[in-house]
Chain A
Amino acid sequence: MAYNIFATWTFIQLNMNKSNPQIDREIIFRSQNGDEKAFTELIGKFRISLFSYLVRFCGDRTQAEDLFQETLVKVWNYLPDYRHKNKFAAWLFGIAHNVAIDARRKKKVRELVTYAADLPESESSDQPDAQLLADEIAQIVDAVLQNLPENQRQVFLLRQHGGMSFKEIAVVMKQPLNTVLSHMHYAATKLKKTLREHHVF
């Protein structure tokens, strides 16, 4: 009984902020048919989740704006290919994933920075750091994400921002489900370890 309550609560908590807005099929149809107003409405539903996914992926707001625009160009262009039996969010984030990966490949950016150097100094006190502002925690999280291996970061971000199931992520990333689950586990474990070191919880 206790476990059931815990599991339910955990599920609700973990899915509370996942981006999976209800999409009216008619909006997609109209967008596919070239209706720009419908397209604006459609993309507007993902404005925050898609942009935050790209910011967290590349760690740079300006570059994320460029990637957002590039993603929209591809989405608009490939929208007639979208099949309604698939979840739109998964299709959209699949495109964003490819755009982000391509951009990184083009720039040949290698993640050589050690995240420890980028992190704010950890407090030596054992007291929970209640003063640590959300922005500082975000900075810590960003540093961890930027220093994760690319596959781990992608799985983590697609799951947290794209509201995708692991099976959907496995399809988008063309990797076996177990590999995707391992990536998620390593990413979350690394984040957990760092947040604990900074007394976030």
Chain B
Amino acid sequence: MSSENEKLCSDFQQDIWLSLDQDLSDEKQPIWQQHLRTCSECRSRLQALQKTLKVYDNLPLPELPLEKLQEAVQHATRGARRPVSIRKLPGRYKVAATTVALAAAVALFFLLPRGQNTANSLVWNDFSMDSSISEIDSSVAYLSSTDHWTAVFEENGLDDDFDSRIYELQNRLRLLEEDLQISMSR
């Protein structure tokens, strides 16, 4: 066997699995097809591996009884889910969640008292800001999980342009923060 053939055989060992999964690149596919036509050793290796997996696939599988499945599902769904981050909500809820969050931010912006009184009545620092944003986030996640909001957004055919809405929300929150800082400095 030439050294070139040896290298081909060695390379084929790596690609053999991609070949079996039909996941080879377009460049490699014809190379290995040609190699298998001429190399009985690689063909034989391929067949042996295929037989091995066939034996494995035909083995009886250990089954989980249905009652155990029910038990496991009940156990899993018994506890409350952890709080959901707005970014990780299922696609169709993202629009609802983001828009509600935007509405909350805008409402906060307009409804909060401004000026000297604001600075005196609020202690606004990084910690409280984070904590407030987190509260808004959780409330939005809760609100968005209701069927009512889903129906409203589906009826209006709103697209799932989540990122742009998040960007918009962040800008609004930044403006709110700046406004409060100005109020505090007065």
Question: Are A and B bound to each other?
Answer: yes
Which of B46, B61, B68, B70 touches A40 (beta carbons < 8 Å)? B70
Report the Cα distance A49→B64, complex, angstroms.
Answer: 10
Contacts of A137 in B (CB 8 A): 55, 59
A192 within 8 A of B: yes
Asked whether B21 lies within 8 Å of A39 as measured between CB atoms, the reply is no
The B contact surface, by secondary structure, is helix
The minimal Cβ–Cβ distance linking B154 to chain A, given in whole angstroms, is 12
| Stretch binding the partner chain, chosen from B11-19, B113-121, B129-137 | B11-19
Does B4 touch A at the CB level, under 8 Å? no
Q: What bracket does the count of chain B residues touching chain A fall in?
A: 35 or more
Q: Contact flags (1/0) for A78-116 with B, using CB distance below 8 Å?
A: 001111100000000000000000000000000000000
The chain A residue with its CB closest to the CB of B46 is A10
CA A22 – CA B129 in complex, angstroms? 45
Instruction: List residues of A (133-157) whose CB comes within 8 Å of B's CBs.
Output: 134-135, 137-138, 141
Contact of A77 among B49, B50, B81, B145 (CB under 8 A): B81
- Cross-chain contact A75 with B76 (CB below 8 angstroms): yes
Task: Point out the residues of chain A lying under 8 angstroms from B20, CB to CB.
Answer: 10-11, 14
Tell me, in angstroms, the Cα distance from A44 to B69 when the chains sit together.
Answer: 7
Q: B70 contacts which chain A residues (CB < 8 A)? A: 40
Tell me if A171 is interfacial: C-beta within 8 Å of chain B. Answer: no
Which residues of chain B are within 8 angstroms of A191 by Cβ–Cβ distance?
52, 56
Query: Is B7 part of the binding interface, using a Cβ–Cβ cutoff of 8 Å?
Result: no
Interchain CA distance A200-B155 in the complex, whole Å: 61
With both chains docked as a complex, state the minimum distance between the C-beta of A129 and any C-beta of chain B, in angstroms: 13
B53 lies within 8 A of A52 (CB) = no
Residues of chain A at interface, number, CB under 8 A = 63
- Interface flags for B17-33 (1: CB within 8 Å of A; 0: not) read 11111110000000001
Stretch of B84-92, B100-108, B165-173 contacting A (4+ beta carbons < 8 Å): B84-92
Residue on B nearest A32 in the bound complex, by CB: B90
Contact of A166 among B18, B54, B56, B92 (CB under 8 A): B18
> Which of B50, B71, B88 touches A80 (beta carbons < 8 Å)?
B88
Interface pair A185/B76, CB less than 8 Å apart: no
Whether B62 contacts A64 by the Cβ 8 Å rule is yes
Are B69 and A138 neighbours in the complex by a CB distance under 8 Å?
no
